[in-house]
Structure 1
Amino acid sequence: MLKALKNLLILLPFLCNGQSLGRFVTDSVLNHPEQVIEKLRAAKPGSAWQAGISYYRLGKCYAFLNHEDAALAYFIKAKKQFETAGKTTEAKDIALEAHLVVSSQDDYQKYGYTFLEEYKAYAHKTKSAERLALVTSEYAKEAYQTYSEADDPDVKVLDSALALFQKALVYAQKSGNRAIEGKICLNLATINNTAGRYKEALAFADKALSVAYYVKDPLEQAKGYYTIGNTFFMQENYKEALFYFKKALAIKMPYYQKFGRLIYKKIAQCYDALGDNANRRRFETAFDSLDAKIKDVEQNIAIHDINIKYQVAEKDRQISILQNIKMKFIQHKIIFGTLLFLVFLLALYSFIRWRKVDVRRKKLQQEKEGIETEHTKTVEQLEKVRQLVIEDHIILKNKTRLYLDKLMYIKADDHYLNFTPSEGKGHFLRGKLSEIEKELPPNFIKCHRSYIVNTNFIKSSNSKGILLKNGEELPVSRNFKL
């Protein structure tokens, strides 16, 4: 459940425009991004100012189409062009746009918070209530992210996120920007849902919905209905939840496929809880179809843009190096010759030092191989001992006997558990991960707050994830060690 709420929370601020950038987002960018992309990529802007505007519009178009890699690339290009043109305000405001793209990705903490910190400094420098509302909301989202990904969530972290969102709401109301106020109200509704304060959540969601209709924003209207539906869903009032989820789905959003995918998933879960398997399968099929489409398009666009960017950058770098070498050789022949001689001496010295280090390295390598051999033998012996204590099977709530030597992993999805064996059909039933964990033998470990994995099926693991013997990858918590 937290994962679904986190995904919505990430989507909420995605259309916030900086104070200086909103005027560049035309109706064509909002309603026909593909056409705008085709037109802008064929055009050749003149000044740095014009280039910055064009790159920014391209970034917004790609963001609307869920092509985040391309969006981020163009936002960074636009930022550089605005800086070249001396447009500090636009360059600083676009830092928030870049951060929003990065924060829409999974595991985005590895990218750092450079863009957000830059925007925060400018918000405090300008003392803009609108910018302070936006940046405070982002830091609230970071706190919520920390809470949702923790193995043992601390309610104090959730309370700090709530306090930051409330502070952001005060800034938004002071700025008079109703659109930002509505988005923050949806954030507050989501936070209250997580805390189980459903009455407060509905109040904030209703307020956000009224603002969305006031500013005539279809996406925010759909998110308002979704949040209300999710409030009833968390209270297991699935019929009422279905009503609002379908109202959200009925609003036309051709360029927000990720949000549509989230709605399909929730509707399918409602029908599953109500025992309506026909409708559950229908919406699961719709979810799978849209999920495959989004992943395929993102991959193709990312590969294309990254490849083109690399080729252009590499050619520019090579041309620049050759031109600099040529000019320096013509203008400073003596200095160039001296530098070559010094480089030769440095290379000779480095070679001698390397020879000494290499001898020592080989000796250490031999010692390492000996230790690894002993370690391998020890691990093999421990594995034999561990196999002796592994239990044979467990009995699920539906009376199904599940043999543990075939069970690869268990995944928690909201109120359900998905048992995935190495062969045969999986099992999907209601339950909690904490309950099933108590019934499992020691070779089953909790690698993530939503996963328990059978260590007998692990091929390799690192800080980024676990690779199973069948090729599947599972996420891991930050502090997980095998």
Structure 2
Amino acid sequence: MRHLFLLLFSTITFGQNIPIDSVSYDCFYKKEMQTIVRLKKELVNKDFDALKQLKIAELYANINCEDSAYASYYRVFEKEKTKKTISTEQYKELLFQLHRTESSKHNYTKDRRVFLNQLKTASKNDRSDKWRAKIENENFKDIYVDSSKYNLALEKINLIQKTNFYKNNTEFRAVILLNLGNLYTSLEKFDLSENALNESLQLSKKSNDNTGQLYALINLGVNERVRRNYAKALSYLKQTNKITKEKYHLKISRIIAFQKLLVYEGLNDTVASIKQEKRYTKLDSLVNDFAKNSNFYEIDVKYQTKEKNAKINQLNDLENRFVRNKILYGILIFLIFLLALYSFIRWKRVDEKKRILALEKEKAEQVTIETIEELETVKKKSIIEYVVLKNKSQVHLEDLFYIRSDDHYLELITKNKKEITRGTLKEIEGQLPPNFFRCHKSYIVNTNFIKTNNTKGIVMQNNDIIPTSRNYRTL
């Protein structure tokens, strides 16, 4: 398993001050992977140890292996729901981490909330309002991120700020102020956002929370970028170089790279934009590799050892039998070879003709099916009048100028309004008819509203200038 990570990291890097292609695997995650391997070895042929399993899950989460983290957390949950070996508070934390890990996955359906509802039930008689505050914060995320009901989200945060847990817990207060700063940015209350985010930054410094400091600086940069203070935004983003990324190194580095790319584009710094786009592309590729392969990394060490030993024994037994019967095996192999050679010569021509005819028929059928499917897809898209966003709102295509991607959010610009929702361009691109095309990794434009096309980019009828990229430009 370690060698797989070595192969994955040896050619790709996300160091901030080191050339993107020069950093080796030893620069990151080495300690975490060594700890995971050590803990798994300690669990081989031993009784189930919930605390060690929880530690493994936490380490997986910190290095972006969410599938493996979820599998480890769930393994503990299956044991603990019938026979408790950990404390009540540890069990509540387990439910909370299961919910957070599950809800961080791309295809998560938030209507389930299985573990969050179990946590709510388990903590309903608590004297402390700790878990109520944390549950309300998860509900705030649903309102803010998925429905974009900003005023309702603001009311939810105001209620959280009245809890004793918010008032007495520095780290949680920093998290809520970070969320509040993000919300104020969406509401275009930039000064209030800056105040909340700076307070979150100071609280994170006070509690030595490096991850909290990173997110605060990133969102301070986003706040300034949105208000077009690009130099100040870049200053905040560069401050992240001085902070050690203890958790979520890959994803945080990708976020920083993307935000820097947007800032450099705002500054019209083409050279820096190209360099930053390469960094972001590599980081994005690496994060996707983790998402695809984390289940493979989760293969249990005990299972690997047992399977490997079984294969070794099987090969040794086969080798011993072969030595004892090598003459007999030799004769049998020779006879089989003669029979195969005869069959090959006898039926070669007939089989080859059949194979070629079958392939040609299969290809012809496949081409026909694909052509029909493509025609049907184009036909359906050409009559689509609107798209439905995750917040259930409808955006009519005849009014839609362009779509812009900003991290995990989409901004849809129409004749009369602007819609913001969570999602990616790849998800929404499949719903759009042919008159929409992707001119940049962060933009899809409606060709019906293009005013002109120049060296700066595509000028829309509302005079917005859309950047283009060599990888996507099709006009």
Q: TM-score range by the shorter chain?
A: 0.5 to 0.7
Provide the rounded CA distance (Å) in 1 between the counterparts of 2:426 and 2:240.
35
Structure 1's consecutive aligned runs of 4 or more residues displaced over 6 angstroms after TM superposition are 45-48, 306-312, 379-387, 446-452
Query: Does the alignment pair 1:168 with 2:168?
Result: no
Alignment of 1:4-43 (within 5 A): 32-43=31-42
Q: Report deviation, 1:410.
A: 6.3
Contact 2:381 2:432 in 1 (8 A): no
Partner of 2:126: 126
Contact 2:217 2:237 in 1 (8 A): yes
Provide the rounded CA distance (Å) in 1 between the counterparts of 2:432 and 2:302.
39
Q: 1:434 aligns with which of 406, 414, 418?
A: 414
> Secondary structure at 1:144's aligned position in 2?
helix
Alignment of 1:161-310 (within 5 A): 161-171=153-163, 173=165, 176-253=168-245, 255=247, 256-305=249-298
Provide the rounded CA distance (Å) in 2 between the counterparts of 1:96 and 1:138.
10
Contact 2:167 2:173 in 1 (8 A): no
- Which digits, 9 at most, give the CA deviation of each residue in 1:44-93, with x for residues without a partner? 28987x61101110110000000000001111112233342354432222
Contact 2:45 2:302 in 1 (8 A): no
Provide the rounded CA distance (Å) in 2 between the counterparts of 1:160 and 1:385.
37
Query: Does the alignment pair 1:62 with 2:95?
Result: no
Provide the rounded CA distance (Å) in 1 between the counterparts of 2:233 and 2:44.
49
Provide the rounded CA distance (Å) in 1 between the counterparts of 2:173 and 2:240.
20
> Secondary structure at 1:412's aligned position in 2?
strand
Q: Report deviation, 1:205.
A: 0.5
Quick one: structure 1 residues 454 and 382, their matched pair in 2 at CA, closer, same or farther if it must change by over 3 Å?
A: closer
Higher relative contact order (Cα pairs below 8 Å, separated by 6+ residues): 2
- Which digits, 9 at most, give the CA deviation of each residue in 1:8-59, with x for residues without a partner? xxxxxxxxxxxxxxxxxxxxxx9932222011111128987x6110111011
Quick one: structure 1 residues 309 and 106, their matched pair in 2 at CA, closer, same or farther if it must change by over 3 Å?
A: farther
> Secondary structure at 2:43's aligned position in 1?
coil
- Which digits, 9 at most, give the CA deviation of each residue in 1:380-422, with x for residues without a partner? 89989998x9xxxxxxxxxxxxxxxxxxx9642249xx9xxxx
Query: Does the alignment pair 1:453 with 2:432?
Result: yes
Provide the rounded CA distance (Å) in 1 between the counterparts of 2:57 and 2:377.
54
Provide the rounded CA distance (Å) in 1 between the counterparts of 2:269 and 2:213.
28
Contact 1:411 1:452 in 2 (8 A): no
Partner of 1:366: none
Code of the aligned partner of 1:80: E
Provide the rounded CA distance (Å) in 2 between the counterparts of 1:137 and 1:450.
31
TM-score by length of 1: 0.57
> Secondary structure at 2:147's aligned position in 1?
helix
Q: Report deviation, 1:250.
A: 3.3
Contact 1:140 1:165 in 2 (8 A): yes
Provide the rounded CA distance (Å) in 1 between the counterparts of 2:380 and 2:69.
53
Provide the rounded CA distance (Å) in 1 between the counterparts of 2:125 and 2:304.
39
Partner of 1:340: none
Provide the rounded CA distance (Å) in 2 between the counterparts of 1:123 and 1:141.
20
Q: Report deviation, 1:433.
A: 3.5
Provide the rounded CA distance (Å) in 1 between the counterparts of 2:193 and 2:70.
33
> Secondary structure at 1:252's aligned position in 2?
coil
Provide the rounded CA distance (Å) in 2 between the counterparts of 1:35 and 1:382.
49
Alignment of 1:378-397 (within 5 A): none
Quick one: structure 1 residues 456 and 247, their matched pair in 2 at CA, closer, same or farther if it must change by over 3 Å?
A: closer
Code of the aligned partner of 2:100: L
Partner of 1:81: 79
Provide the rounded CA distance (Å) in 2 between the counterparts of 1:168 and 1:138.
11
Quick one: structure 1 residues 71 and 382, their matched pair in 2 at CA, closer, same or farther if it must change by over 3 Å?
A: closer
Provide the rounded CA distance (Å) in 1 between the counterparts of 2:381 and 2:164.
58
Quick one: structure 1 residues 380 and 272, their matched pair in 2 at CA, closer, same or farther if it must change by over 3 Å?
A: closer
Code of the aligned partner of 2:262: Q
Quick one: structure 1 residues 53 and 73, their matched pair in 2 at CA, closer, same or farther if it must change by over 3 Å?
A: same
> Secondary structure at 1:170's aligned position in 2?
coil
Q: Report deviation, 1:145.
A: 2.5
Q: Report deviation, 1:185.
A: 0.7
- Taking only aligned residues, the RMSD between alpha carbons, in angstroms, comes to 4.1
Code of the aligned partner of 2:127: K
TM-score by length of 2: 0.58
Q: Report deviation, 1:449.
A: 7.2
Contact 1:412 1:450 in 2 (8 A): no
